[in-house]
A and B are shown apart, each in its own frame.
Chain A
Amino acid sequence: MDCDWDSFLAVLPEWMRRDVDALGKHSLQELRLRLGTPPELVLSSGTWYLSRPAARQDIDFCVNLASQYSPWSVESTGEGYLPLAGGHRMGLCGKTIVKDGQVLGFRVLDSLCIRVARDIPGLAPKNAVDLGSILILGAPGWGKTTLLRCVARAVAEKEEVCVVDERQELFPRGFSRGRRMDVLSGCPKASGIPMVLRAMGPSYIAVDEITAREDAAALVHSSGCGVKLLATAHAAQKEDLRLRPCYRELLEQGIFQTVLLLTKDKSYRLERMEQWATNG
């Protein structure tokens, strides 16, 4: 399966489904709903707008269907997104509810960004298993998760790979996995990494989007235990990586041996970490 399209369509209002299905089944990357403006379809070939503007009830409908009318039951709403079946993700924007400095959810939603998860096999480097720990870098929407999925699957054909899939986007139900892969779903990375390390005896641990210091600390710890890592990080270029404190330790410790640098057109360049060290 390259995409669980039905799960994506299922969270859309009835009137939108037919057009979205006809226009985007094979190439939709994301659907943006903004209150009072026509829904925007970002396709691989360009952008398309539906004719009817999105109303408040359309936005509510999408969120309620995605959360089974229970947004409070999805912890990630406080982080601004809802994971959907099929690995898709619904980003939320509007007026937040904040208590003691912590975002609890949204009082009113004005915009949604629904990203389509597609599995595009065959992207991984041929010798992925010989590259050691791999860090995938790219800006949002450049295909980090898709590439990580391919790399993890390729490595899992030969080695034990444990995937800590916090956002349930990497290997949702229906996406093919490698032969020697275990997936821990919906668990925060900082807790999940030590869990799989203790319980599953992996050769590799794969995680998507290292964003917090505790995630980086868990990676450093597992690397010290002899496990190789497959991870992604938000950075359009290597200099971005050095600017962020949570990545600095990962670089200083020399945990990753290979970097896959994505570009906007979703192609990537492979670089060895030693090159980075010598080039500064």
Chain B
Amino acid sequence: MGYKWIGAVLVVVGCGGFGFSLARETLRQEALLRGLLTSLELMENEIRCRLTPLPQLCRLAARGRNGALRSFFLSLGRDLEKGTASQAQQCVSNILEQQKDLPVPVRRVLKQMGASLGRFDLEGQLKGLRACQNACRRELGELERNRELRLRSYRTLGLCAGAALAVLLI
């Protein structure tokens, strides 16, 4: 009898944990997108004011960021400095392929950023970065819309699903 209850508790905790981890992942995506937006704004200002070349720009963008985003920008700066591909876009794709821990919305914006880098005319380059910022804001807006409701749903659903499963199993 005791084993049944222990099993039930474990099922509830497991499912609840899954719900909570989904909620945490959503918050992480938001934080990454906010960080990326800040980096893109910094890149635009640096290019506009100081015409900073991309490898240095990536190192600057990595500053103040942490985790996956920092590692992405540092790797990109390193690859651009070494000249590992014929286009900046290719360098971005190579790094995204290696770095699997970036969530899909962040990857989408980074891919767009890769496609916009390395233009000949300054105005075109700035426009490309602004378009990336807008894409980033859109993704962020999607996540922020009904955020509280969604986070609560993930947690509650996890716990409820666990409870339902436990009842069925008992």
Chain A residues with CB under 8 Å of chain B are 10, 13, 57-58, 60-61, 64-65, 67-73, 77, 97, 99, 104-107
Contact = CB atoms under 8 A, between A and B. Distances in A.
B88 interface: yes
Contacts of B85: 61
**7 pairs of A and B residues whose beta carbons are closest in the complex:** A105-B120, A68-B53, A61-B86, A104-B121, A57-B86, A70-B53, A73-B51
B72 to A, nearest CB: 16
A64 B86 contact: yes
B17 interface: no
A99 B55 CA distance: 28
A105 B80 contact: no
Interface residues of B, number: 24
B52 interface: yes
B83 A61 contact: yes
Contacts of B125: 72
B118 A70 contact: yes
B117 interface: yes
A10 B81 CA distance: 11
A69 B77 CA distance: 11
A97 B121 contact: yes
A72 B83 contact: no
Contacts of B47: 72-73
B120 A68 contact: no
Nearest to B122: A72
Interface of B: 47, 51-55, 57, 80-81, 83, 85-88, 91, 117-125
A61 B78 CA distance: 16
Contacts of A13: 86
Nearest to B118: A69
B121 A68 contact: no
A267 to B, nearest CB: 39
24 contacts: A13-B86, A64-B83, A64-B86, A65-B83, A67-B53, A68-B53, A68-B80, A69-B53, A69-B54, A69-B87, A69-B91, A69-B118, A70-B52, A70-B54, A72-B120, A72-B121, A72-B124, A72-B125, A73-B47, A73-B51, A73-B52, A97-B124, A99-B121, A104-B122
Contacts, number: 68
B119 to A, nearest CB: 6
A107 B100 CA distance: 33
B134 to A, nearest CB: 20
A64 B55 CA distance: 11
Contacts of A69: 53-55, 80, 87-88, 91, 117-118
Nearest to A77: B120
A104 B52 CA distance: 18
B24 to A, nearest CB: 36
A2 to B, nearest CB: 25
Contact of B121 (A58, A60, A65, A105): A105
Contacts of B55: 68-69
A64 B90 CA distance: 12
A104 B126 CA distance: 14
Contacts of A104: 120-124
Nearest to B85: A61
Contact of A106 (B53, B57, B86, B120): B120
Nearest to B83: A65
B50 to A, nearest CB: 9
B37 to A, nearest CB: 21
A14 to B, nearest CB: 9
A72 B51 contact: yes
B68 to A, nearest CB: 22
Contacts of A105: 119-121
Given A69-B54, A72-B122, A73-B51, 18 more contacts: A13-B86, A58-B86, A61-B83, A67-B53, A68-B54, A69-B55, A70-B54, A71-B118, A72-B119, A72-B124, A73-B53, A97-B120, A99-B123, A104-B121, A104-B123, A105-B119, A105-B121, A107-B120
A113 to B, nearest CB: 18
A67 B51 CA distance: 12
A106 B119 CA distance: 9
A159 B124 CA distance: 47
